[in-house]
Amino acid sequence: MTENTTLTAGKVWLVGAGPGDPDLLTLKAARLIGSADAIVYDHLVGEGVRALFPASARQVYVGKKAAKHTLKQEEINQLLVDLARQGLAVVRLKGGDPFIFGRGGEELEVLRAAGIGFEVVPGVTAAAGCAAYAGFPLTHRDHAQSVTFVTGHLKDHSIDLDWPALARPGQTVVFYMGVGGAPEICRQMIAHGLPASTPAAIIRRGTLPDQQTLLSTLDQLPQRIVEAGIKPPALIVVGSVVGLHDTLSWFESR
């Protein structure tokens, strides 16, 4: 795709749209979006990215909000198959990176079983984009030697996670889709060894002009979320790197 922007009929491109700021789209993602016959996109694809959709493309919104899904996942899978079989060049556009809590693997398994060709274009995942714009690194030699991305709820809607592993010191833990489960997340992290005073933050609408970063501690975060009226989608970040926000914040202080 370095020069040729012509897409192949009957094929699907699984594309990451990044965390919201359209300038964080990869060049390849932007070229594919601009050449697509059909674009199937999620709730987390930002307005700035949607502005790049060509008027000639069939645009299908399949967004999922908490407890409100436009289509079931099985229906989205079949939609991709049907569009490709109609001879369309399909861009399946997902917020962040499609292989990080984006169900991209599930959709590609269905395409493969149906004999549909596909390619994958990675995107800037929400954790990396939001942390960068909030002013704290996910890793730092003095604070965190590892970073863990974890979903705030499992497929069965539980949050039965490997808490001892998540509560180890010397790491940053990023919870996707964790707003509703914040009280249990914080309780478990403290119960399994992290000090109640561990820095924690929640980032809403990360990388967008109205980004909101709420700093707290592990024990106070659930109440702070309620007081601030934070609603999904948002990321929870736990670890001492959060304490660098005051020093390294650049986006919200411009």
Please give the C-alpha separations between residue 26 and each of 11, 16, 42, 116, in angstroms, as whole numbers: 20, 9, 18, 24
Give the C-alpha separation, 125 to 128, whole Å. Answer: 6
Tokens of 135: 């002013």
Active-site residue, from 64, 68, 72, 142: 64
Give Cα separations from 129 to 10, 137, 142, 157 (angstroms): 32, 10, 21, 26
Question: What span, in angstroms and rounded, lies between the C-alpha atoms of 15 and 199?
Answer: 33
CB proximity list for 221: less than 8 A, separation 6 or greater: 182, 186, 200, 202, 236
DSSP H helical ranges for the chain: 27-35, 47-50, 73-85, 104-113, 126-134, 163-166, 182-191, 221-228, 245-248
Q: Residue 98, Cβ neighbours under 10 Å: how many? A: 25
How far CA 14 is from CA of 118, 157, 163, 244, in Å, comes to: 7, 26, 32, 35
Of 127, 125, 136, 133, give the one whose Cα is nearest residue 252: 133
**Six-digit token string for 218:** 């592990």
Q: Which of 37, 42, 94, 97 is catalytic?
A: 42
- Catalytic annotation present for 42: yes
Residues with catalytic roles:
42, 64
